[in-house]
Amino acid sequence: MKEDYYSILGVDRNASEEEIKRNYRKQALRFHPDRNPGDHEAEENFKKAAEAYEVLRDREKRAIYDRYGHEGLNGTGFRGFSGFDDIFSSFGDIFEDVFGFSARRTYSRTSPRSGADLRYDMTISFSEAVFGISTEIEIRRLESCDECDGSGAAPGTEPSFCLTCRGSGQVTRSSGFFSVSSTCPNCRGAGRVIDNPCRSCRGAGKNNVLKKVQVRIPPGVETGVRLRLRGEGEEGLYGGPRGDLYVFINVEPHEYFHREGNDILCDVPVPMVMAVLGGDVEVPTMEGVEKIKIPKGTQHGRLFRLKGKGVPHLRGSGRGDQVIRVAVEIPTDLSKKEEKLLKEFAKLREGRR
């Protein structure tokens, strides 16, 4: 169900035309796309406010809406707005009054625009995540056409001046005291026309090419970490800056190491006799093998800690620890002599904990 137009603009049903206009200006200022780049919720609120104002500023449409609601407007041919260009064309005078500039100038197709951001999903090993890695990846992105140097015109030719809009990318229609600007239908807002398009890029001025990019993965990353490489996205339009490249990290599981925060956990099997009598056991670490001492009477599941042998802190200095969990091995292939000795041992232990 569509939201009430009066509620959208924050006015009651007896509001004057000036009050409706004033509240619409507040909404337009608050949710304007220039002030909320990439905010889809703000975009939707901006469109809702424009639709509400289009109806309530018109006495005839307002009267129909007051009597029949949204359904009544269907008979007037009103269908809201298809996009921002439609809104700015209708309310260009208001935007110039509110923001100090016209919609045409702000949203001209020839205004500098940032290039598109790109995404790359990268899988690395557990060891590479711990110690970091510098590597090279290949991505596809739009680059200026080498043959036409990005002009889109065939070598030896130049884009011609658009006579329809006189190079502005916009055409203006006057109606009484109001002027309405819209995108030039001839050049589609570019302000120029390509009569002889480049054969390599077909007039686009850009080609989709394979590029190699150097990526440094810092020590301590984990699955889900996103790295931002500034300026490695696609080229901008009309002199705008390049977009960025986002590298999303996925870490492969290790055969016997497990990460918890910045600590590395592993299970180390210890023979039952060693757990009882004590001894030395070799344990694997990310940097080789180390020996640890197993005290007499070590229980299954006991934890030992090797300081500074874990994962480096991604933001900051130092490293976590390696935590070793003892897994006491119970023999399953006892000989008769071993069974006899264990039974004798059990009798000796009778009455003792």
- Name which of 3-7, 254-258, 348-352 the model is least confident about: 348-352
The tens digit of pLDDT for each residue in 166-179 reads 777 888 776 544 55
Q: Would the pLDDT of 341 be above 70?
A: yes
Beta strands per DSSP E along the chain: 118-124, 133-144, 160-161, 170-175, 178-183, 192-193, 206-217, 226-229, 245-251, 258-260, 263-271, 279-285, 288-294, 303-306, 322-329
Cβ atoms of 241 and 234 closer than 8 Å: no
Q: What is the pLDDT of residue 292?
A: 95
The tens digit of pLDDT for each residue in 24-35 reads 988 888 887 767
CATH 2.60.260.20 fits 118-159+194-251, yes or no: yes
Write the CA distances from 14 to 59, 60, 62, 112, integer angstroms.
Answer: 13, 15, 11, 44
Same fold? 118-159+194-251, 258-348: yes
- In angstroms, the CA 159 to CA 167 distance is 11
Q: What is the mean pLDDT of the chain?
A: 85
Please give the share of the chain, as a percent, with pLDDT higher than 70: 86
Q: What is the pLDDT of residue 108?
A: 47
- In angstroms, the CA 269 to CA 326 distance is 6
pTM, rounded to two decimals: 0.59
The tens digit of pLDDT for each residue in 225-283 reads 999 999 999 988 777 889 999 999 999 999 999 999 999 999 999 999 999 999 999 99
The average pLDDT across 217-229 equals 95
Between helices 40-56 and 59-68, what is the axis angle to 10°?
100
Q: What is the pLDDT of residue 350?
A: 83
Q: Is 103 helix (H, G, I), strand (E, B) or coil?
A: helix
Which is more confident, 112 or 224? 224
The tens digit of pLDDT for each residue in 78-113 reads 655 545 555 554 454 444 444 444 444 344 455 677
Q: What is the pLDDT of residue 32?
A: 79
34: burial class by Cβ within 10 Å (0-12, 13-18, 19+)?
A: exposed
Angle, CA of 347, 352 and 353, to the nearest 5°: 120
Residue 155 CB contacts under 8 Å (≥ 6 apart), including other chains: 147, 148, 198
304: its two tokens: 């030992």
Q: What topology is assigned to 258-348 in CATH? A: HSP40/DNAj peptide-binding domain (2.60.260)
Q: What is the pLDDT of residue 187?
A: 84
What are the extents of the domains in the chain?
5-106, 118-159+194-251, 258-348
Q: What is the pLDDT of residue 111?
A: 64
1.10.10.10, 3.30.70.1290, 3.40.50.970, 1.10.287.110: CATH of 5-106: 1.10.287.110
The tens digit of pLDDT for each residue in 278-317 reads 999 999 999 999 999 999 999 999 999 999 999 999 887 8
The tens digit of pLDDT for each residue in 176-196 reads 445 567 788 888 777 888 889
